Structure 1
Amino acid sequence: MEHQERALAAYIDQVSADPDTVGVVLIGSLARGVEREDSDVDVYLIVTAEAFARAAGEDRWAWIDRRDLDYPGSYIDIKLADLEYLRTAVERGDDPTRASFAGARVVFSRSDELEGLVAGISVLGDEVWAERIRSHIAQAHLHGGYFLRQAEEHGDPFLLQHAAVHLTLAAARAALASAHRLMPGPKYIHALVREVPSPEGFVDAWDAVVASPSIASANALIAQLDQWLGRDQSRDESLSVFIRDNELAWLRGTIPAEYY
């Protein structure tokens, strides 16, 4: 909307005078054209490597600027990055980082590299999506087919809830991966699992585990998931993938699958 675009222009005028500013990347609802009347303005402020290192030394990664200066309730929500941050995000960014750049718009730049980096962060190849499906199915098999069963058999209420959350997250992440959809964060999962295409009964089975986790509801969801996306993935294969992606993440220099 016009008042948010004016606020953005004022912020660009403010930071472009600083020689440490390399660029400004608009993200969020304004970038995607779905902002509300009272939406804030979300940006990545791209700075020089030296400025980024100084901010890192101060543990300063994000802040709010121009609060109530441009329209009632307005503010600029800022995350800090440099070009190396963006290069690394293209290579191995997690889903929330990649999703934050989906639909992003470079609104100020002193770098010929910036546009290409921003465009590449939210793009993954078919082989990456296929491996994600495999990994998330492994998470579902172990959390739903082993840990949840152990929880119910031993009367462990914490483990029951923990396993159910991880099972439903893994099942939802597999569904998203099948549609090549990034996961912006857990608060979006309940809506996203309903948006992506899935077989009849999948969402109902998913909801049943969320509402009432049990061996029966877990088995029903896993059966739906296997029929749809995991037909060729054995439990032995899932065990090895689960160990690789969880217990050996520290050794491989990766992050657990649920945090991709």
Structure 2
Amino acid sequence: MEHQERALAAYVDQVAADPDTVGVVVIGSVARGTEREDSDVDVYLVVTADAFARSAAEDRWAWVDRRGRDYPGSYIDVKLADLDYLRRAVERADDPTRASFAGARVVFSRAEELESLVSRISRLGEDVWAERIRSHVAQAHLHGGYFLRQAEEHGDPFLLQHAAVHLTLAAARAALAADHRLMPGPKYIHRLVREVPSPAGFVAAWDAVVADPGAGTANALIAILDEWLGRDQTRDESLSVFIRDNELAWLRGTVPAEYF
């Protein structure tokens, strides 16, 4: 909307005078054109390597600027980056970071490569999506087919809830990966699992595990997931993938699958 664009332009004028500013990238609803009347403006402030290092030493990664200065309730929600941050994000950022750059718009730049870096962060190759599905199906198999059953057998209420949450997260993320959709954060999962294409009964089975975790609801969800995305993945294969993605993440320099 016009008032958000004016606020963004005022912020760019403010930071462009600083020689440490390399670029400004607008993200979120304003970048996508889906903002509400009272939406804030979300940006990445791209700074020089030295400025980024100084902020890192102070543990200052994000802040709010221009609160209430541009329209009622307005503020600029700032996250910090430098060009090396963006280069590394192209290679190995997690889903919430990648998703934050989807539809992003460079509104100020002193770096020729900035546009290219920003556009590449939210893109993944077909082989990556296929491996994501394999990983998330493995998570569902172990959390729903082993840990949840163990929780019922031993009367462990915490493990029951833990396994059910991880099963439903894994099933939802497999569905998102099948549609080449990034996961912007857990607060979006309930909505996204309804938006992406899925077989008949999948969402209802997913909701049933959330509402009433147990072996019966878990088995029903896993059966649909297997028929859809895990038909050729044996339980032994899932066990190895699960161990690789979870217990060996420290050794491989990766993160567990739920944090992809």
State the identity %.
Answer: 85
Q: Quick check: 1:212 aligned with 2:240?
A: no
Partners of 1:199 and 1:221 in 2: CA distance: 11
Q: Distance in 2 between matches of 1:142 and 1:199?
A: 22
Partner of 1:133: 133
What is the CA distance between 1:23 and its match in structure 2?
Answer: 0.1
- Give the aligned partner of residue 22 of structure 1: 22
Query: Paired residue for 1:74?
Result: 74
Aligned residue type for 2:208 = A
In structure 2, distance between residues paired with 1:227 and 1:248: 28
2:183 counterpart residue number: 183
C-alpha displacement of 1:109: 0.1
**Cα deviation code 1:174-219 (max 9, x no counterpart):** 0000000000000000000000000000000000000000000000
* 2:123 corresponding residue in structure 1: 123
| Aligned twin of 2:192 | 192
Give RMSD over aligned pairs: 0.2
Alignment partners' CA distance in 2, 1:87 and 1:257: 22
Is 1:110 aligned to 2:110, yes or no?
Answer: yes
Aligned pairs, how many?
A: 260
TM-score (norm 1): 1.00
What per-residue deviation string (whole Å, max 9, x for no partner) do you get for residues 149-174 of structure 1?
00011100000000000000000000
Query: CA offsets per residue over residues 82-141 of structure 1, 9 Å max, x none?
Result: 000000000000000000000000000000000000000000000000000000000000
Q: Distance in 2 between matches of 1:252 and 1:221?
A: 31
Specify every segment of 5 or more residues in structure 1 that has no aligned partner in the other structure, as ranges: none
Q: Does 1:147 align with 2:147?
A: yes
- How far off is 1:57 after superposition? 0.1
Cα deviation digits, residues 18-56 of structure 1 (max 9, x gap) = 000000000000000000000000000000000000000
* Poorly superposed stretches of 4+, deviation over 2 Å: none
Query: What do the CA deviations read for 1:57-92 (whole angstroms, capped 9, x no partner)?
Result: 000000000000000000000000000000000000
Give the gaps of 5 or more residues in structure 2: none
Instruction: State how far apart, in whole Å, the 1-side matches of 2:187 and 2:158 are.
Output: 21
- Taking the aligned partners of 2:72 and 2:205, their CA distance within structure 1 comes to 44
Q: What is aligned with 1:34?
A: 34
Which residue does the alignment assign to 2:8? 8
In the TM superposition, what are the counterparts of 1:31-70 in structure 2 within 5 Å? 31-70=31-70
